[in-house]
Amino acid sequence: MSLSFVAPPRRLLTITIDGRTVKVPEGATLLEACRQQGLDTPTLCYLENLAPVNVCRVCVVEVEGARVLVPSCSRKAEEGMVVHTDSERVRASRRSVLELLASSVDLSLAGPEVKRWMNRYRAEPERFGPAAPAAEDDRRDRARPGEHHAPEGQVAATVAQPVKLDNETYIRDYSRCILCYKCVEACGSEAQNTFAIAVAGRGFEARISTEFAVGLPDSACVYCGNCIGVCPTGALMFKSEYDLRQKGRWDEARQTVTTTICPYCGVGCNLELHVQDNEIVKVTSPLDHDITRGHLCVKGRFGYQFVQSRNGGDEGR
């Protein structure tokens, strides 16, 4: 998407990126500076409409004089900074981060850019051995902090676990969760202010959870679906999409996207209706839309069944 600065830049800073002298507005992050230069900088936990949490560490760059690499998504440019985005250290770290993630999380729905980065950095997640069998129950939800069974090392531990199906609007497949914190942010102070989910546990057992891992119907969730809107890996997914995928009928090539305005209230949120076989299969909103910034409410996100209702009939109910 296009780069946009909310506040007018006060002055321009001069920094060096990969040998090129460039000018960036004061307050810009290194990621913004890199994108301004057209550099494809991988990001996973970063999203334009959320405050950077700099946890995935795939966007790291090397700043001369710094002891360790810095996350470009949150580090602000400073006058005279000398930045390397493709040094041996940067490539090695990005490669390892992608390998660590891919060896522990199902990234198969994470979008084509992730595969592109995996290829570019020659990530080989299988180096850590074959994946351990998935947990068959909710043991990850009950993990005690600071305790784990010592591994034998022949298989690589993963976060694979059963899908959480507890309501009709969306599913939670935490086998795909890279713990980017985006859903927590969207549920909390960045968008919805509902705070139904947070990170619980610690270490490899850290997980997105409601209190005591209760199901969504027993939680504070209001089904705005803003967590789905920001999830980068398909861990959170419309139930309609999930069902079609389970039946092997999900086919994005056959889908159209129609932009419209939500019919419910007067705010004027833009909706993007994803339609397959003349059925609405999911609803999104553009990240750069002035009003929504990609976020919707339960009605705009899930209240579309009436569209399918013909002849006053029951089909859509």
Q: Which residues bind other proteins (CB under 8 A)?
A: 54-58, 60, 68-69, 71, 74-75, 89, 92-93, 96-97, 100-101, 103-104, 127-129, 142, 144-148, 150-154, 156-157, 178-179, 188, 193-206, 209-212, 214, 218-220
Size of the chain in residues: 317
Closest contact distance (angstroms) between CB of 252 and other proteins is 28
Closest contact distance (angstroms) between CB of 104 and other proteins is 5
Closest contact distance (angstroms) between CB of 39 and other proteins is 18
Both tokens assigned to 125: 């997640």
Closest contact distance (angstroms) between CB of 49 and other proteins is 20
Among residues 8 and 203, whose Cβ is nearest to other proteins?
A: 203
* Distance, CA of 216 to CA of 222 (rounded, Å): 9
* Distance, CA of 32 to CA of 46 (rounded, Å): 11
Among residues 73 and 296, whose Cβ is nearest to other proteins?
A: 73
Task: Provide the edge-to-edge strand list for the sheet that holds 279-284.
Answer: 255-261, 270-276, 279-284
Among residues 71 and 294, whose Cβ is nearest to other proteins?
A: 71
Closest contact distance (angstroms) between CB of 181 and other proteins is 8
Among residues 8 and 153, whose Cβ is nearest to other proteins?
A: 153
Closest contact distance (angstroms) between CB of 2 and other proteins is 26
Among residues 217 and 263, whose Cβ is nearest to other proteins?
A: 217
| Secondary structure in 3-state letters for 112-162 | HHHHHHHHHCCCCHHHHCCECCCCCCCHHHHCCCCCCCCCCCCCECCCCCC
Among residues 205 and 241, whose Cβ is nearest to other proteins?
A: 205
- The closest alpha carbon to 18, from 45, 1, 4, 37, belongs to 37
Among residues 127 and 254, whose Cβ is nearest to other proteins?
A: 127
Closest contact distance (angstroms) between CB of 149 and other proteins is 10
Among residues 180 and 296, whose Cβ is nearest to other proteins?
A: 180
Among residues 111 and 129, whose Cβ is nearest to other proteins?
A: 129
In terms of phi and psi (left: phi > 0; alpha: psi -120 to 50; beta: otherwise), the region of 189 is alpha
Q: Which residues contact 185 (CB under 8 A, 6 or more apart)?
A: 50, 51, 53, 191, 230
The answer to whether 190 and 184 have CB atoms below 8 angstroms apart is no
* N- to C-terminal Cα separation, the chain: 37
Closest contact distance (angstroms) between CB of 302 and other proteins is 19
Long-range CB contact pairs, 268-273, < 8 A, 24+? 269/296, 269/297, 269/300, 271/296, 271/300, 273/304, 273/307
Q: How far is CA 277 from CA 17, 243, 248, 258, in A?
A: 47, 15, 14, 13
The answer to whether 240 and 308 have CB atoms below 8 angstroms apart is no
Amino acid, single-letter form, for residue 289: H
Closest contact distance (angstroms) between CB of 224 and other proteins is 13
